[in-house]
Amino acid sequence: MSLPFTTEKQLAIAAVRRACHLTSSVFNKLVKNETLTKGDKSPVTVGDYAAQALISSMLNHAYPQDPIVGEEDATELRAESGSTLRERIVELTNEALTLDLQQGDYAEWGIGPGKAKTPEQLMDEIDRGNYGGGRTGRMWCIDPIDGTKGFLRGEQYAVCLALLVDAQVQVGVIGCPNLPADLSQPEGQKGCLFVAVRGQGAQQMSLMGANPTPLSMPPYDPSTFNFLESVEAAHTSHSTNDKISTLLEITRKPIRMDSQAKYGCLARGDAGAYMRMPAGVGYQEKIWDHAPGSLLVEESGGIVTDSRGTPLDFGLGRTLGVNHGVIATVKSAHSRLIDAVAKALSNEEGDTKSKA
Ligand SMILES: Nc1ncnc2c1ncn2[C@@H]1O[C@H](COP(=O)(O)O)[C@@H](OP(=O)(O)O)[C@H]1O
Ligand SMILES: [Mg+2]
Ligand SMILES: [Mg+2]
Ligand SMILES: [Mg+2]
């Protein structure tokens, strides 16, 4: 008998790999009018839409009953009749659906290659990601391009896919086309795929599946410990992270990087902790920004909680609800970090009160 979730894992790898191929080729040809600004002022490109349409089509083919929580929706695209943006998305998605990737392709598992779809069908595929989430049953979680700002800068981004069952992440796959296989060799081979299945461990491999390596996080070592954090100051408080760092007497500088590539780097031991302290009040973290990454870290021997030590709850809907920031680290460092966070936050509170 095969291990649980083997087919789902293979499909997720195939979908992420195909989407990475799409996003890499989009980047090389991206022009200015292929990016929109969403209601929350964040950018979305033709690459985000096309990658979601592609992944959703592949999931739909294999598991038509499974609901999907996807970041993007097609409302704006539908509203623009005769839009060149929509035409471009349709062209890109159909190219990617029908492309013969050969080695490691999903055709190997007898579920493709896919046929081209009509614009209407592809808008529907994007909107299959509108599921509201919840505590029971199966659901997939897609972040077609995580770190869109990094993608636009030509830096790090990730194609992220997870399968959740009863609000627990069971399968997580993260594709990072721009990530060096070895961070100490930034000019070396680029393109990493991170794969985790609950209870079955985590692996890093090349985007085409070469050199699979099991991941296991090194134990806490104060002499080398450092943080991973967002590039964008609006997504995380760099200054709170600095204060926590000082309290812990960390001497190494943080590594700033966009997207869930941070979880991949943490899982393979490039840094000691991924710190995401809230930059403001009221932002609710999205489940697609953490679902595959949290499993990857857990399966590599780490722990992921909010900044108060509460486990992340993926059963509340499309967001993590009341969770306050995110901390991912090796188990032996976790309580030290939680204590330092509490201290840093109470000092910040004290500073605010004394200024008032
Ligand atoms: N105010 C905010 N606080 C925290 N995260 C935010 C935020 N505004 C947007 N984000 C999320 O930050 C993600 C990128 O994370 P990072 O900074 O680690 O690269 C974005 O994902 P997308 O790029 O998929 O939209 C978005 O969901
Ligand atoms: Mg976005
Ligand atoms: Mg994201
Ligand atoms: Mg995204």
Answer whether 177's CB lies under 8 Å from 186's CB. Answer: no
Q: How far is the CA of 155 from the centre of ligand 3 (A)?
A: 15
Residues 6+ away with beta carbon under 8 Å from 57? 93, 97, 114, 117, 122, 125
- DSSP, collapsed to helix, strand or coil, labels residue 102 as coil
Residues of the chain with CATH 3.40.190.80: 227-355
Ligand 1 neighbours, Cβ below 6 Å, are 42, 71, 143, 146-148, 150, 230, 232, 234-235, 258-259, 279, 283, 286, 289
Give how far Cα 68 sits from Cα of 110, 156, 170, 222, 312, Å.
22, 25, 15, 41, 19
Query: Using CA positions, which residue lies closest to atom 10 of ligand 1?
Result: 235
Q: Which among 48, 71, 286 is the best mutation to test ligand 1's pocket, defined by most ligand atoms within 8 Å of the CB?
A: 286
CB atoms within 10 A of CB 59: 25
Nearest ligand to the C-alpha atom of residue 283: 1
The protein residues having their C-beta less than 5 angstroms from ligand 4 (an ion) are 71, 143, 145-146
According to the annotation, is 289 in a ligand binding site? yes
Query: Helix 6-29 vs helix 46-62: angle between axes, to the nearest 10 degrees?
Result: 160
Strand order in the sheet with 158-165: 68-70, 138-146, 158-165, 168-180, 190-197, 201-206, 213-214
What are the structure tokens assigned to 264, written together?
């991949």
The tens place of each residue's pLDDT in the chain, 356 residues long, gives: 789 999 999 999 999 999 999 999 998 887 767 888 888 889 899 999 999 999 999 999 889 999 999 999 999 999 876 678 899 999 999 999 888 765 555 544 444 567 889 999 999 999 999 999 999 999 999 999 999 999 999 999 999 999 999 999 999 999 999 999 999 999 999 999 999 999 999 999 999 899 999 999 999 999 999 999 999 999 999 999 999 999 999 999 999 999 999 999 999 999 999 999 999 888 999 999 999 999 999 999 999 999 999 999 999 999 999 778 999 999 999 999 999 999 999 888 777 777 66
What are the structure tokens assigned to 98, written together?
């029908």
Q: How far is the CA of 156 from the centre of ligand 1 (A)?
A: 13
Q: How far is the CA of 137 from the centre of ligand 3 (A)?
A: 23
CATH architecture of residue range(s) 6-214: 2-Layer Sandwich (3.30)
SS3 helix, strand, coil % of the chain, rounded to 5?
A: 40, 20, 40
Protein fold of 227-355: D-Maltodextrin-Binding Protein; domain 2 (3.40.190)
Residues of the chain with CATH 3.30.540.10: 6-214
Write out the H or E segment, with its range, that includes residue 75: helix 75-79
